[in-house]
Structure 1
Amino acid sequence: MMDDEVFMSEHGHDLMESETGSSSAMPEEVLEQNALTSTLNSMIVYGKAAHHNLTAPRREALTKLSRMHRTLLEPFYSDYLLSIDRAIDVNSQFMTLVAQIGANNFEAPQERQEWQGATSIQVDHTKSTLKQLYRDWSMQGKSERDVAYRPVIEALNDLFEINKRSETHVLIPGAGLGRLAYDIAQEGYISQANEFSYHMLLTSDFVINHTQTKNQYQLFPFIHSFSHNTSAKNQLQAVQIPDICPSENAGLIRGAFSFTAGSFTDVYGPKDDDAGSGMKNMWNAIVTVFFIDTAHNLLDYIDTISYALCDASDGEGYWINYGPLLYHFEDDLSNRGDLKSDSNLSIELPLDKLVHVIETAGFVFLRLETKLKTTYASDPQAMGSWIYDCVFWVARKRKPGEVYESFVDRV
């Protein structure tokens, strides 16, 4: 059964780096509060920022055209921008509601004067969150979800018989808005999502715990780009969320579902003082989808996965992965050229070397497929989109003394 509230456990307290940057001069609790409140602010100021950055400069540009050019564009262009403004307002009302409920649930200071201001990067994250809602919680995003999520779920179901799933613990780090973890619970597993970003945590909390009916909210996820649009109508297409209402279906879910907040390595990995995290050998399967390339040091992720998976003698410590190798911090290292801060660290490996490292770390690859093409939160009607060549694998934690042949040597 799904808990009444699935955001009950916050094991980790390292949520600030990706949102606001870290500072050793400030206490951790202050940094965390700043990260939370600046994210909340970015949701609340989204509408004002979007009007300012999207429609206001285009109206200004229209006034600078020659009379003949303005005549060619009007009245279409002004009506077009007015429609964008109305869509911004709809999005803004939703994000403000998410922020209001999130401020209460995540215990932000009641006085907004105490909140940290929002950066332009965080407002961009709010815009991205709207597209993530399209991907994870709308019917229109199902076809894109299925490309990545279905192979993972099918691989899980091949590994674990249906009568054992109620005792099978599956961890999904980098869970985003939680849809994959929710769908895994629907298959009967004990599913736990883990997420680092406050944008994702606040929004997934709202969708999972505070939506009341299917298709309750309308959003316009594609209004923020004026490029690659086949029509104004397509740019202004609306989606409804959630396509499945978790609170409505709470009594119907076959497995168990929970959500933790914090850094994957901090919450689930080994500790420097050898005290452990309480997560050692706990998980029968760990599922990573569009996640492993988010690491500063990918080897830390591998260590954490190995630590958290069930002991290999049980034969049920599986790592299922789907995604690209778009290393998120490569540009930080390349552009800054120094390592004065750990936040500049970036370790990137090509796939063959990554497979070798994973095998050396104690895994045996059962399946490995490459060049699986997919998009991510992409408008299927757009004239251009980023297409990823993804890798999909199923690996098992190696048993002590087990002899194996490297997967790289087998292909």
Structure 2
Amino acid sequence: MSVATEIPRAEVPEVKEEEAERLHFQKVINAFRIYKKHSLNVIQRKENYLNQLPQEHQKLLKKNGYGSMLNDLKSAVDVNNEIVQHILKDIDNVFDNLTHQSKGEKDKRTMPNGADMEKVQSCLKQLVRDWSEAGIEERSACNKKITDKLAVLFKEEERESKKVLVPGAGLGRLAFDIAQMGFECQGNEFSLFMLFTSNFVLNKCTTINSFKIQPYIHNFCNNISDEDQLKTVHFPDVDPNQLPEDRKFSMAAGDFLEVYNEAEYVSSQDCVATCFFMDCAHNIVDFIQTIHKVLKPGGYWINLGPLLYHFSDMPGETSIEPSYDCVRGIIKDFGFEIMEEEKDIMTTYDQNPASMLQYSYKSVYFCAKKM
């Protein structure tokens, strides 16, 4: 089954916006294109510094494997770059209803920065979380709470007629799993990095565990062993094309607030499922209001995640950061009834489980009903 990625009508750029859209599109493509060069440059700088050290220090480091480790990292970059090249192959036609032609131009406005390269690296780790056996534990700690609740709320025989929206869908695994349960499901994602990568997985990966990556090679700190940094992960752990041809599953590109505030989406969804998404807003009240607007009366909002607040303290960005208790009150004020709630759910995100440094969240789960 081919999974369409569309830009909803609300997000198709007007003529005055086309230039900015094209430049951004090209900048993201360029970030993928220079992945290998950028990564090898990082390793080269480490090699140059190694060669400047006192001879006795160089000897000790090389004796204990540091020099060969740097060579292994170069080989790992080649492994990852094969996946990057697969992602790039179909980028010009990634959207069903909008075409950007990548030109490889030298415009300074399309040159990636460090943050762009980190997003490419993040996509590799996201492949582990969403589409590998190695990511099952981390993924299940979040997604299973949502899918289990959906299974309770909707009988199997009625799911084909029930619409579920997944904002912040990332590489699409949660949305895919929901569609696999029998629902009509649309994932929504703003990041072109994620959309390009999800397009590759959902439409080009047809054999289980047929691709491999070494996702942790860019993490140079807190490694117990070289093998931990060089770990190889195979994906996908399921065939994304196994969905029936008549199953309604799609990915919509664009800003959640801009796309789903359009009239056509008012009272259109039976459920909204959010996972590690609610804190991605400048103003979280906007998200709550839009979720309430798109749900049908009696529809459900299932959420799991922390309140990291992505724009907090980010230079040039505005943000509010209310506590969960405040957010919970606002949700009720909009007319939701909180039917189920659980706190202190231990979750992680894109973690290397072998790292000496582990970040974890005490996430909140709830299921709310629009009254």
Relative to the length of structure 2, the TM-score reads 0.94
**Alignment match, 2:173:** 179
**Alignment match, 1:371:** 344
The residue type equivalent to 1:13 in the other structure is: E
Cα deviations by residue, 1:378-411 (Å, 9 ceiling, x for unpaired) = 011111111111000000002xxxxxxxxxxxxx
Q: Are residues 1:325 and 2:318 paired?
A: no
Match of 1:6 among 1, 4, 7: 4
Cα deviations by residue, 1:22-50 (Å, 9 ceiling, x for unpaired) = xxxx9311111111111111011011111
Pair 1:277–1:114, CA change in 2 (3 A): farther
**Alignment match, 1:58:** 46
**Alignment match, 2:36:** 47
Q: Distance in 1 between matches of 2:94 and 2:171?
A: 16
Match of 1:389 among 341, 348, 362: 362
**Alignment match, 1:137:** 131
The size of the alignment, in residue pairs, is 365
Alpha-carbon offset, residue 257 of structure 1: 1.1
The residue type equivalent to 1:6 in the other structure is: A
In the TM superposition, 1:113-262 aligns within 5 A as 113=105, 116-247=110-241, 249-251=242-244, 255-262=247-254
Pair 1:63–1:50, CA change in 2 (3 A): same
Q: Is the 8 A contact 2:6 2:253 kept in 1?
A: no
Q: Distance in 1 between matches of 2:340 and 2:368?
A: 7
Pair 1:114–1:5, CA change in 2 (3 A): farther
Relative to the length of structure 1, the TM-score reads 0.85
**Alignment match, 1:69:** 57
Alpha-carbon offset, residue 8 of structure 1: 4.0
Q: Distance in 1 between matches of 2:183 and 2:246?
A: 8
**Alignment match, 1:277:** 263
Structure 1, gaps ≥5 residues long:
16-25, 270-275, 337-343, 399-411
Q: Is the 8 A contact 1:177 1:203 kept in 2?
A: yes
Q: Distance in 2 between matches of 1:168 and 1:12?
A: 23
Cα deviations by residue, 1:104-157 (Å, 9 ceiling, x for unpaired) = 434332532277222221111001111001100111101110000001001111
Alpha-carbon offset, residue 9 of structure 1: 4.8
- The 10-residue stretch of structure 1 (124-133 or 379-388) with the greater mean CA deviation from structure 2: 379-388
Q: Distance in 2 between matches of 1:277 and 1:118?
A: 36
Q: Distance in 2 between matches of 1:99 and 1:67?
A: 43
**What's the % identity of the aligned pairs?**
35
Q: Distance in 1 between matches of 2:94 and 2:246?
A: 26
The residue type equivalent to 2:56 in the other structure is: M
**Alignment match, 1:273:** none
**Alignment match, 1:409:** none
Q: Are residues 1:286 and 2:272 paired?
A: yes
User: Helix, strand or coil for the counterpart of 2:169?
Assistant: coil
Structure 2, gaps ≥5 residues long:
none
Q: Distance in 2 between matches of 1:165 and 1:98?
A: 32
- Aligned CA RMSD, in angstroms, stands at 1.9
User: Helix, strand or coil for the counterpart of 1:74?
Assistant: helix
Q: Distance in 2 between matches of 1:294 and 1:14?
A: 22
Q: Is the 8 A contact 2:345 2:364 kept in 1?
A: yes
User: Helix, strand or coil for the counterpart of 1:331?
Assistant: coil
Q: Are residues 1:355 and 2:349 paired?
A: no
- The 10-residue stretch of structure 1 (347-356 or 98-107) with the greater mean CA deviation from structure 2: 98-107
Q: Are residues 1:299 and 2:297 paired?
A: no
Q: Distance in 2 between matches of 1:254 and 1:144?
A: 31
